Structure 1
Amino acid sequence: MRRLATVLALTMTAGVAAASERGPITIAEMGSFHVGGKLVEISGKPVREVVFTPGGVPARVDPNGRYMVGAMYTQYVVPAERRGRYPLLMWHGGGLTGVTWETTPDGREGWKHYFLRRGWPVYVSDAVERGRSGWSMYPDLFPGEPLFLTIENPFERFRIGAGVGSWSDDPAQRRVLPGNQFPTDTESYLNFVRQIVPRWTTTDPMIIDAYTALVDRVGDSVVMVHSQGGQFGLKVAQARPEKVKGLILIEPAGLGDRDKIAAFRGMPILAVYGDHIAQDSRWPTIRGNGVRFLEQARAAGADVEVIDLPERGIRGNSHMLMMDRNSDEVAAVVQDWLVRKGLWR
């Protein structure tokens, strides 16, 4: 009986701890804003009449005039008990929005909540042309045209499935990578592809300008980026090295400017990579390019750490580390680094 009572007491204690971990979050401040952008003028377009609502009265629409182009949406939440020394800015990858950080496709809390619970003020952005930032006329205001992804594309390309042709509408026929941690049941995966939005390959300068404006507005910050966001984080850190107090690269897919490598001197930089990279057709090259760039940053005086999760015994992670079933375990690796670098108190 004494042993059973001890087991029950331990179980109850663990349950209280788990409940506390997922209990209410006390918020001091929250809100949103748009930042960046510039006025651009268009002329020479025909004027037309448009009925905006069925049964409505036609309205004259003159597309000639000035437009605000390249502004970016950001939502912020500041916890009542701040423990992060600086705000944590979370920047998503290509074809995605800030939803990346908010809730996993199978309904668990995302990294926004994880770091908020640990006392970090979090700022989650939708990059220019994504989500609530919206996009503009093309090719008049946005050069080029948007790219759209099929539902199969992320499954095959984000190291969830075993390459081309691995997706099937029949769950029994899907070829998932061994031990893969992404939630691949039909409902969860379709929840993920509902988040996919059009993206451009020609708007990078606008996005970098907007993220730079965000850092200028928020001030000293820790920047966390994913995938396509890698080059944005690196280049903004090079543009504002005095304000970027730490840089976290989650499977970065781009590089900074080699001729500005000295800007990283003294900056803590963490890069995190998941599993199944060596077997992929693209990711050995992407990771190799990224690590070589970070080695140059280290040689220039940056405080660089590269973590390959399988070497830590954390296996099965896809490109979407923050959505995998073990996302909290991966977030804990990042939080531990933040603590070790003196960025959390």
Structure 2
Amino acid sequence: MVRSFVLPLLAAAGIVSAATLPRDNVDCTGVNAISPKCRSNEVKYTRDVYYVGGRLISTATGNITADQLYVEKLTPTCGVKHPNPLVFFHGGAVSGVTWLNTPDGRKGFASHFIEKGYQVYLLDHTGVGRSSQEATSEYTLWNSTGVESVQAGFTAPELNPTYPQATLHTQWPGTGQKGDPYFDQFSKGVIPFTSNWTMGELSMRASGCKLLSLIGPSYLISHSSGAQYPILLSNDCPDLVAGNINLEHSTQPFWNYGSALNSGSSIRPWGLANTPLTYDPPVTNSSELSKEWDGEDTLAKRRCYIQTEPARKLPQIAKVPYLCTTGEASVHATYDHCVINYLNQAGVKTDWIKLGEVGIHGNGHFGHLELNNLEIASVVEQWIQYQDRQKR
């Protein structure tokens, strides 16, 4: 008989499965699940790590590397069964970890797609996490998101709703408040990110297209502010983008919304980006884009900037199939239509799936981590399968 204290050592060495370890009287909630006595819900894959792109910057102490992109390559042990890889772009204030297991230990999006036989790539955007940059004057201006803002905006917006849809939020695991083990696990993964959007976009444009040139045409799956990068790659190297999939895109044209009516701040002077996009007729300066407000501003549905007609087109971006999904309880339910309207006006065909309308209810902004996250993953997978059939 193997003594009980030996089992965790054997599991760590891969000699026995972690699933064989006892769980009786073991607390496996939140970070406690790090214990070798707790089972993992992850699937089997092999993992390789790379840095893609980058450039040298001369400093007083020598050349340093900047703009390199951290990439994890996750390959299903069952074999790759689909022709196009999936590349995941995280949102603001988090890292590529957001696509792995959820704060309460369930399978994340990466596991779902690996289990289905997809080749998966996870990124830490330049300037974030394992792609963090040297604090040079041309690059790094840090900001982050406080615990209170995380609670109010993402994990428990229903407690003090600033928009009507927030009261529908039901899917965050646990209470969504400080002191809950799942909230604490999630909030510790909220990290600084760059507020120098121009430099961030320029570096991601270069390293992103470089990555796609190495791995071939891929589906780009993004969350929140991570959506700005697939838009740019669709503009710069559309032949390498099989599809642009956005879980609540944060590329609202020309504007970031405040919580009060008629509030916010100007951003993205090129409409969907802070750096140049290819318009037709051509634009050499963002000031040439003429815009106007469309609609009345309400807390349930915000007004949008659109182009003044005749609208310029986005011919490069229009080459790439586009999908957005929106949770019924997310603040994005109030303004995701603005991006859809802008793209349609610019000649980009879009698909927009409102999750509540297809029977997936109660989701906030981080739906890919919530209790019904794999239902959302299945919607994304069905869209990918449809695009693949169209190409045959």
Q: Is the 8 A contact 1:31 1:77 kept in 2?
A: yes
Q: In the alignment, does 2:292 pair up with 1:292?
A: no
Separation in structure 2 between the aligned mates of residue 106 and residue 25 of structure 1, nearest angstrom: 16
Which range moves more in the overlay, 326-335 or 126-135? 126-135
Separation in structure 2 between the aligned mates of residue 341 and residue 164 of structure 1, nearest angstrom: 40
Report what 1:142 is aligned to.
139
Q: In the alignment, does 2:51 pair up with 1:31?
A: no
Report what 2:321 is aligned to.
268
Report what 1:337 is aligned to.
383
Q: Which amino acid aligns with 1:284?
A: T
RMSD of aligned residue pairs (Cα, Å): 2.6
Separation in structure 2 between the aligned mates of residue 207 and residue 197 of structure 1, nearest angstrom: 19
Structure 1 unaligned residues grouped into runs of 5+: 1-21, 44-63, 167-175
Report what 1:154 is aligned to.
150
Separation in structure 2 between the aligned mates of residue 135 and residue 160 of structure 1, nearest angstrom: 32
Cα distance change on mapping 1:220 and 1:191 into 2, 3 Å: same
Q: How many residues align?
A: 285
Separation in structure 2 between the aligned mates of residue 103 and residue 42 of structure 1, nearest angstrom: 39
Provide Cα deviations, 1:163-199, integer angstroms capped at 9, x if missing partner.
7699xxxxxxxxx843421113311011111111101
Separation in structure 1 between the aligned mates of residue 191 and residue 201 of structure 2, nearest angstrom: 16
Report what 1:41 is aligned to.
58
Cα distance change on mapping 1:41 and 1:24 into 2, 3 Å: closer
Report what 1:106 is aligned to.
104
Separation in structure 1 between the aligned mates of residue 229 and residue 160 of structure 2, nearest angstrom: 29
Report what 1:192 is aligned to.
186
Runs of 4+ in 1 over 6 A off after TM superposition: none
Q: SS of the counterpart of 2:168? A: coil
Separation in structure 2 between the aligned mates of residue 233 and residue 328 of structure 1, nearest angstrom: 22
Cα distance change on mapping 1:163 and 1:218 into 2, 3 Å: farther
Separation in structure 2 between the aligned mates of residue 258 and residue 188 of structure 1, nearest angstrom: 43
Select which of 207, 227, 231 maps to 1:234.
Answer: 231
Separation in structure 1 between the aligned mates of residue 129 and residue 365 of structure 2, nearest angstrom: 21
Report what 1:250 is aligned to.
247
Question: TM-score if structure 1 supplies the norm length?
Answer: 0.76
Cα distance change on mapping 1:68 and 1:23 into 2, 3 Å: closer
Provide Cα deviations, 1:182-234, integer angstroms capped at 9, x if missing partner.
11331101111111110112133223322222212222111111111111111
Report what 1:259 is aligned to.
279
Separation in structure 1 between the aligned mates of residue 377 and residue 116 of structure 2, nearest angstrom: 11
Separation in structure 2 between the aligned mates of residue 245 and residue 37 of structure 1, nearest angstrom: 24
Q: Is the 8 A contact 2:328 2:356 kept in 1?
A: yes
Report what 1:207 is aligned to.
204
Provide Cα deviations, 1:220-268, integer angstroms capped at 9, x if missing partner.
1111111111111111111111110111111010135362711134422
Separation in structure 2 between the aligned mates of residue 204 and residue 159 of structure 1, nearest angstrom: 28
Identity over aligned pairs, percent? 25
Select which of 214, 220, 228 maps to 1:223.
Answer: 220
Q: Is the 8 A contact 1:225 1:249 kept in 2?
A: yes
Separation in structure 1 between the aligned mates of residue 343 and residue 322 of structure 2, nearest angstrom: 8
Q: SS of the counterpart of 2:315? A: helix
Separation in structure 1 between the aligned mates of residue 244 and residue 150 of structure 2, nearest angstrom: 26
Question: Aligned runs of 1:109-188 on 2, under 5 Å?
Answer: 109-138=107-136, 140-143=137-140, 145-158=141-154, 160-162=156-158, 177-185=167-175, 186-188=180-182
Report what 1:54 is aligned to.
none
Q: Is the 8 A contact 1:69 1:141 kept in 2?
A: no
Cα distance change on mapping 1:137 and 1:246 into 2, 3 Å: same
Question: TM-score if structure 2 supplies the norm length?
Answer: 0.67
- In the TM superposition, residue 95 of structure 1 has moved relative to its aligned partner by 0.9
Separation in structure 2 between the aligned mates of residue 206 and residue 81 of structure 1, nearest angstrom: 32
